């Protein structure tokens, strides 16, 4: 069953129009069926020039919402391979979270958290657009823990996920949140990586990947074009234990930088997601002992610096240059989260010329369900 969304907004913002269709893509953007609406309409020709898009596929799938607003998706019977029964497409998850055996906290106390914000731009303009980003570390596990209840409370206009770890054909029905246009970008490899973007307003265009044949197999990037900016949702490759994939990661950094540069000449860019690097010593609890570990090597940190030098701002650090102990990731082991032994790996990085539009940027460290917490950006656009 789809979630019912209890809107609860503090400041004024532009009206959101519900008419909706959904896009699910495994490393590719599928045809749209629904009609777009409102001011941010996009022409057919615009949408069809999907440069980065790669059409791979099997198991394609789409879902249109019903008139009463309840998400309903096709329920094809899974084909049998031998005796092994395959899960049907997007059935509700049958299992609930095994709260019993968990050693780490999984439940958020949403009732006691405050998601409101009266933040304004430097010029005093109130926020009217909210973007959230979350490395969910497996959307199916998150759903079992009721982690997507976050959306009921945060109610962002745009929601970006990383590490969904779910092929399109295995998406549970609970992932089809009502009221958003939904875009899925899965890795070729089942259960690995994967990103998703939910948007109340239909983007002018949505593309997948950063134009690198190899890297784009891993479902790491979704770009949504809006009237005033590009939003790029990324899950940057982890450099791995023993830094085995550091070379791949550094190459990715270069390709991403080039990719953003091309967008930035057209419109301001908002890059969000898990950048898999703590930029400076202030961005993690144990800088001294982690210089040889993935996420805090010299090379990764320099990559972040080089990116910013292209003309981007780390919005959180821009607003809170001296704030310590504010992280977005805590290892599952060692009771790290309870001790706030963490890393700031998730960012909203935006074009310098857009920084005047920023109202606030917060790390939702009290929201559980993953080893990362969500982050939220408040903008006036």
Of 126-145, binders to a copy of itself (CB under 8 A) are: 144
Buried b (16+ CB within 10 A) or exposed e, 328-354: bbbeeeeebbeeeebbbbbbbbbbeeb
Q: Does 84 bind a copy of itself (CB under 8 A)?
A: yes
Nearest to 184 by CA among 60, 329, 37: 60
Instruction: Pick the piece of the chain touching DNA (CB under 7 A) from 19-27, 138-146, 209-217, 224-232.
Output: 138-146
Q: Which residues are marked as active site?
A: 235, 274
Least separation in angstroms between CB 80 and a copy of itself: 11
For the chain, strand residue ranges (E) read 22-25, 129-135, 158-162, 181-185, 195-199, 205-208, 221-225, 230-235, 269-274, 312-314, 329-330, 342-343, 346-351, 358-363, 375-379
Least separation in angstroms between CB 368 and DNA: 10
Nearest to 202 by CA among 378, 44, 19, 48: 19
- Helices then strands, counting H and E runs in the chain, come out as 6, 15
- Choose the contact partner of 237 out of a copy of itself, DNA, none; CB within 5 to 8 A by kind: DNA
Q: What is the largest CA-CA distance in the chain?
A: 65
Least separation in angstroms between CB 39 and DNA: 37
Q: Does 80 bind a copy of itself (CB under 8 A)?
A: no
By three-state DSSP, how is residue 107 classified? coil
Instruction: Pick the piece of the chain touching DNA (CB under 7 A) from 47-55, 152-160, 238-246, 297-305.
Output: 238-246
Q: How many residues bind a copy of itself (CB under 8 A)?
A: 17
Q: Which helix (H) or strand (E) holds 249?
A: helix 246-264
Instruction: Pick the piece of the chain touching a copy of itself (CB under 8 A) from 100-108, 256-264, 276-284, 302-310.
Output: 100-108
Q: Does 213 bind DNA (CB under 7 A)?
A: no
Which position among 24, 129, 151, 166 is part of the footprint of DNA (CB under 7 A)?
166
Q: How many residues bind DNA (CB under 7 A)?
A: 34
Which position among 67, 103, 116, 298 is part of the footprint of a copy of itself (CB under 8 A)?
103
Output the CA torsion sign for 95, 99, 100, 104.
positive
Least separation in angstroms between CB 1 and a copy of itself: 17
Of 223-242, binders to a copy of itself (CB under 8 A) are: 241-242
Secondary structure of 26-65 in HEC code, one letter for each residue:
CCCCCCCCCCCCCCCCCCHHHHHCCCCCCCCCCCCCCCEC
Q: Which residues bind DNA (CB under 7 A)?
A: 83-85, 94, 101-104, 106, 137-142, 145, 163, 165-167, 170, 190-193, 237-238, 240-241, 245, 331-333, 371
Q: Which residues bind a copy of itself (CB under 8 A)?
A: 82-85, 94-101, 103, 144, 241-242, 333
């Amino acid at each position: 069953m789809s979630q019912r969304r209890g809107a609860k907004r503090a400041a004024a913002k532009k009206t959101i129009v519900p008419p909706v269709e959904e896009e699910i893509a495994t490393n590719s953007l599928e045809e749209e069926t629904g009609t777009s609406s409102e001011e941010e309409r996009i022409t057919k020709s615009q949408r069809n020039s999907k440069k980065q898009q790669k059409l791979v596929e099997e198991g394609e799938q789409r879902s249109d919402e019903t008139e009463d607003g309840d998400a309903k998706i096709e329920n094809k019977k899974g084909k049998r391979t031998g005796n092994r029964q395959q899960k049907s497409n997007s059935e509700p998850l049958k299992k609930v979270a095994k709260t019993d055996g968990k050693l780490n906290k999984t439940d958020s106390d949403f009732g006691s958290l405050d998601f409101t914000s009266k933040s304004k731009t430097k010029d005093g303009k109130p926020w009217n657009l909210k973007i959230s980003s979350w490395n969910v570390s497996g959307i199916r596990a998150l759903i079992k823990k009721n982690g997507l209840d976050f959306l009921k409370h945060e109610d962002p206009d745009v929601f970006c996920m990383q590490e969904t770890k779910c092929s399109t054909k295995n998406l549970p029905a609970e992932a089809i949140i009502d009221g958003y246009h939904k875009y899925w970008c899965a890795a070729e490899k089942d259960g690995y990586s994967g990103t998703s973007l939910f948007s109340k307003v239909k983007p002018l265009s949505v593309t997948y990947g950063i134009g690198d044949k190899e890297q784009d197999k891993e479902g790491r990037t979704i770009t949504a074009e809006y009237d005033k900016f590009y939003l790029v949702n990324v899950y940057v490759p982890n450099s791995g234990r023993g830094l085995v994939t550091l070379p791949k990661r550094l190459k990715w950094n270069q390709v991403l930088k080039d990719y953003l540069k091309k967008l930035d000449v057209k419109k301001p860019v908002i890059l969000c997601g898990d950048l898999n690097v703590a930029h400076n010593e202030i961005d993690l609890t144990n800088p001294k002992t982690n210089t040889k570990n993935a996420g805090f090597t010299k090379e990764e940190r320099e990559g972040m610096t080089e990116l910013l030098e292209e003309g981007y701002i780390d919005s959180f650090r821009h607003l809170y240059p001296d704030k310590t102990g504010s992280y977005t990731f805590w290892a599952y082991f060692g009771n790290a989260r309870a001790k706030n032994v963490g890393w700031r790996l998730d960012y909203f990085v935006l074009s310098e010329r857009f920084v005047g539009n920023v109202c606030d940027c917060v790390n939702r460290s009290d929201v559980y369900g993953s080893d990362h917490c969500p982050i939220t950006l408040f903008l006036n656009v």
